[in-house]
Structure 1
Amino acid sequence: MSTRQQVLVLYLATSALDADVVGWSLYDGTGLTTPTAGDSDKPPYTSGVHALEDGWRLFQAAQLIPPYPGHEYDVSFLKHEFFFEKLADTGVA
């Protein structure tokens, strides 16, 4: 069987892994799913801990950088970004 990487990016409400998911992306190197498959309005997990419990491996967490003085309420990128991976069989020899 051929093994490929799946990558899950979760954006959490805070820097804690048990915080609520506020955004996500899923990239499937197996080619078995499409980016629009499933219910795109509902996150695949409610927290990073739930992804860990389902077998996803955490390999990167966002660096915590305090805002510059006077910019505490600026709107910008989602800063609590966590990358997870799974290795999955493609079903192809």
Structure 2
Amino acid sequence: MSVTRQQILILHLAQPDLETRTIAWALYDGSKSKDELQMQTGDSMVPPYDSVLDAMRDGWNVIQLPTMPVFLSGHEFEQGHLPYEYVLERKVTVE
């Protein structure tokens, strides 16, 4: 019997444009068993997709867009979290 499971892909882009290059990522794969590695972080030099638009073309659905950061005067160059985070999901069939 086959069942459907969810995969979540988080892509951080260099800019808010959906075609901008991916600079960080994480993959949570609900189709794998508990014994298998569940999350793949950006532990390689090559991201799974070059951009959000490339992931969409491969069947991923965007479920969250980033809130645009507010840069206060005098604080424009402070370090913080990566501001352009997109959350995507897709359903896969597991036998």
Q: Structure 1 length as normaliser, TM-score?
A: 0.88
Question: Unaligned regions of 5+ residues in structure 1, if any?
Answer: none
Over the aligned positions, Cα root-mean-square deviation in angstroms equals: 1.5
Deviations 1:46-92 (A, max 9, x none): 0111000000000101111321111100011000000000001121x
Alignment match, 1:63:
67
- 1:21 and 2:25 aligned: no
Report % sequence identity. Answer: 35
> Which of 23-32 and 46-55 deviates more?
23-32
Secondary structure in 2 aligned to 1:26?
strand
Alignment match, 2:9:
8
Deviations 1:3-60 (A, max 9, x none): 1110000000000000000000000001166235xx7221000011100000000010
Q: Structure 2 length as normaliser, TM-score?
A: 0.86
Distance, in Å, in 1 between the alignment partners of 2:8 and 2:44 is 16
How many equivalent residue pairs? 89
Within a 5 Å distance, the mapping from 1:27-46 to structure 2 comes to 27-31=28-32, 34=37, 35-36=39-40, 40-46=44-50
Distance, in Å, in 2 between the alignment partners of 1:30 and 1:40 is 21
Runs of 4+ in 1 over 2 A off after TM superposition: 32-36
Distance, in Å, in 2 between the alignment partners of 1:26 and 1:42 is 13
Alignment match, 1:80:
84
Letter in 2 for 1:4: R
Question: Unaligned regions of 5+ residues in structure 2, if any?
Answer: none
